[in-house]
Structure formats: structure tokens, C-alpha cells
Amino acid sequence: MEYDAAGRRAGLPTAPFATTTTLRQRALLGSIDVLRGEAEFFLRFRPRVDMEAPVAYWGGVDDRDRRSCILMEDIVATRGARFVEPTDPLSRSQVEDLVRNVARYHGAFWEHPELPHGDAHAGQTYVTADGRMGLTDWQATQQGGWAYDVAYLVGSTCEPEDRRAWERDLLALYLDELARSGGDAPSEPDAFLADRRQMLYPFSAWAFTIGRAAHRPRMQPDATSRVILRRLGTAIDDLDSCGAVGV
């Protein structure tokens, strides 16, 4: 985009990117009331957290027909971002970077009445030209416990052998960063129990994704769903998540 002299002096964005939704997405996401979350995150929460995530300029939802739009930074143009294929495993340092991001936004809004959590899985990640890992999709922001995001992120991004080797260290990293960011970090044993319990929900979310009804939109390719279900299912078995919830 090009501007007149006043626009250039104001530093208006020259490379914006607009997101929107299809009719089927509007029907599904509008019916469970998650369309407004992304606009709320980018306009109200993102400016208050030091993390790797896009910056947005405007967002809105039409309650009459559930149309929505976010006008945000084009991170490919501004940060040299490359979106990560969710079927590709991440390195340990990349997962650590994502865990720090999660801890920072959790700490910034710890026990806040407007606490935002997102849809922190492998398919929402990107890497910038200078190697920083970020999260880009914030449509499903909601209030909830910290362990949901951590279990979802680690369980969906790591291949089983990597998760087995890294998960306790990643959890310790999260707890340390959470405390530095203003959160009231639980003890490691309590945190590990919560992590084990929360691994069940992301599995159900991806079972819903691949097992959608015919009228629902295809949110992810089936090949992606199978890889992430395998990672999460193996984690549930390794961690005895069912036993952790008393089943």
C-alpha cells in the first residue's frame, strides 16, 4: 500500500495482511462463539506482551452474519517469516522458544479476568528470518488453565522420542519463565500432574478435526491430523493421562 505524505509521516503499514472466513467456517466458529477472540487478542492483549506474534491494525466481527476480518502485519514481508509445516518435527531450541512465548503471555495475564489462551498447536507456528519462533493464530482465545496450552504445544509439536527426552526440561523452562513474567508458578510435581491431565483435550480436538461432519469445514488436511493425533495419542499413553484423571 502507498500513502500520501501525511500517511508516510504517520508510519502507516505498507504491507498489511487481511484474514477472513468462509461461510462454513462462519457457521461453525460463530456457533461456538470464538470469532471475536482473535480480534480481542490482537487489539487488546498483544500490545501488552513481549512475545513473537504478529501485530494487528484493526479487527472486527459482524454479529448479524458472523463475518470477521483482521487486518494485521504481513510477517512474511516484515519479518521474513516462514510458516512451519505441522507434520515436521521442531528442534529442541525451537520448542523452547515457543514455550517461552506461552509463559510470557500467561504471566502477563495471570489470574486476570481477561486471561487469553489460544490454539497453541504445531500448525500455528512460524520462524522468522532471524530464527525466532512465533504463534500466529489466536482465534480460539479463551480463559483456562495454563497446562492446557503447554500440553497442547509440546504434545503436538514434538515427535514422541523428542518429547520423552525433553518434556520435563521444557516444563521446568516454562515454570521459570512464567515466574519471571509475573505468574504464580506451581511446584514441578503439581505442574507435571496438570500437564498429564491436559493432554487428553487436544487429542479430542484433533479427533473432532479429522472426524468432522460433512457440513463442517475442513480445518486441516487429514495427513496433518493423523500426525498430530499420533503424537498426542502416544503422549497420552506414555504419561498415563487417563490414570491422571482417575479413569
The full set of domains in the chain, from first to last, is: 5-74 (3.30.200), 78-244 (3.90.1200)
List, in order, residues 6 or more apart from 76 with CB less than 8 Å away: 82
55: amino acid identity, one letter: V
pLDDT, position 19: 86
Gyration radius of the chain over CA positions: 18
pLDDT, position 86: 85
Take residue 61 and report the three cell numbers written for it. 466481527
pLDDT digits (tens, 9 = 90+) for 29-84: 777 777 778 888 888 888 988 899 999 999 888 888 888 889 999 999 999 999 98
Is pLDDT at 95 greater than 90 in this prediction? Answer: yes
pLDDT, position 168: 97
Strand partners, 70: 19, 59
Per-residue pLDDT, averaged over 93-102, amounts to 95
SS (H, E, C) the chain: CCCCHHHHHCCCCCCEEEECCCHHHHHHHHHCCCHHHHHHHHHHHHHHCCCCCCCEEEEEECCCCCCEEEEEECHHHHHCCEECCCCCCCCHHHHHHHHHHHHHHHHHCCCCCCCCECCCCHHHEEECCCCCEEECCCCCCECCCHHHHHHHHHHHHCCHHHHHHHHHHHHHHHHHHHHHCCCCCCCHHHHHHHHHHHCHHHHHHHHHHHCCCCCCCCCCCHHHHHHHHHHHHHHHHHHCHHHHCCC
Model pTM?
0.85
Share of the chain above pLDDT 90, in %: 57
**Distance from the first to the final alpha carbon of the chain:** 56
pLDDT digits (tens, 9 = 90+) for 183-206: 999 999 999 999 999 999 999 989
Contact 119, 144 (CB under 8 A): no
